[in-house]
Structure 1
């Protein structure tokens, strides 16, 4: 039992060191979606695979999922981009879920603090419904929900299906924005910006309504 604990601590330390070393570099890279698109397309038939690999490890580095959706839309177009974004965020969620369930304990609790207990209230029962709801209305950070779900042992099937289904609207909006970057002066770009603004306001409005009862 003690050996397992030491192994878990060692793995966590390695993860933390990797995150500290590379996170800022990756953040700088994703600030320029066009460079990422050119990088992906340079690998031609492997572009989709590479994008999904990068999307999967995103949750380890706590990188913004929206940025990857924009890159997906810019690189692969609206329809394929939305599908790949949904698959990517689901895979990243699964990785976070597994890391949390296998290595979690006090480490994850210290990261999430009181959020984990508030999240638990939403998804302990009727996991699929609440998982879809939390993805549709992101009142908690995407990765926080994923890590908390693993720590709380939420039903895995509910987690995966809820994450995929709940991520579709947001994935479409941000991939639409990414695809519209090809023509910044177009009506499509203005509509995509409006959709992003509206979607970002939903959690704020939802929290306000909850406070008002």
Structure 2
């Protein structure tokens, strides 16, 4: 493992530790208070959450913050389900917007980077989308835009996106739900799982890049 990767891993672990410590030591918000912020709109809270997540790619709201909030409000499992639903709809909207209306604008904004990604997706479809959602080497929305530029099937894009997002989404939701939990064992498990999901992409980053480059040259 390269020293740069080791530094990145240590930095992530330190950041997670600081996040948990600050929340418990200084912020110390109760689960009831955090849930009230999101659930104050009542029975429509899950629907509003999904709708907001669906338009997130167009308003540039941080996905990680929203996913953590979903875990806090709805718990790790229901939060994951709602987040996956909203994120899939949002990815599909970005995909379809690019395909129907925004191809020239997207190409001009992202340049050669998105063109290269478009070519890889064009040749490998579902598998490359699944891989890039599992190991996020590129910005989440950039992948959706690049897929929209390609001629891949919409069903393949959605399937790869849905399956690829599951581990990471659950990790964020689980972490969000556990940071205000009184169960210390649950919090430790959530941190370890989140760390694993976050570190794995760093470990395999260069291998995946070489694999994608090889696919692009074929």
**TM-score calculated relative to the size of structure 1:** 0.76
| Partners of 2:135 and 2:205 within 8 A in 1 | no
**Over residues 106-150 of structure 1, what are the superposed CA-to-partner deviations in whole Å (9 max), with x where a residue is unaligned?**
310122222213322432134122211111111111110011111
Give the deviation of 1:96 after TM superposition: 0.8
Equivalent position of 1:49 in the other structure: 47
- CA apart distance, 1:102: 2.0
Gaps of 5+ in 1: 1-31
| One of 199, 204, 207 as aligned partner of 1:206 | 204
1:51-85 CA distance string (max 9 Å, x none): 01110010112222222211111111111111111
Q: Deviations over 1:25-72 (max 9, x none)?
A: xxxxxxx9x877423311221011100111001011222222221111
Counterpart of 2:144 (choices 143, 146, 152) is 146
Q: Distance in 2 between matches of 1:101 and 1:36?
A: 39
Aligned length: 181
Q: For residue 110 of structure 1, what is the aligned residue in structure 2?
A: 108
Matched with 2:84 is 86
Q: Larger relative contact order (C-alpha < 8 A, sep ≥ 6)?
A: 2
- Is the Cα contact below 8 Å between 2:118 and 2:149 reproduced in 1? no
d(CA) in 2 for partners of 1:117 and 1:101?
14
The 2-side partners of 1:118 and 1:191 are apart by 38
Aligned partner of 1:123 in structure 2 is 121
Q: CA deviation at 1:169?
A: 0.5
- Report what 1:169 is aligned to: 167
Report if aligned partners of 1:40, 1:50 keep a CA contact under 8 Å in 2.
no
- Which stretch shows the higher mean deviation, 42-51 or 63-72? 63-72
Relative to structure 2, which stretch is displaced further, 193-202 or 51-60? 193-202
Partner of 2:6: none
Structure 2 length as normaliser, TM-score? 0.74
Q: How far apart are the structure 2 equivalents of 1:113 and 1:78?
A: 38
Structure 1 residue aligned with 2:38: 40
Q: Distance in 2 between matches of 1:145 and 1:38?
A: 34
SS at match of 1:63: coil
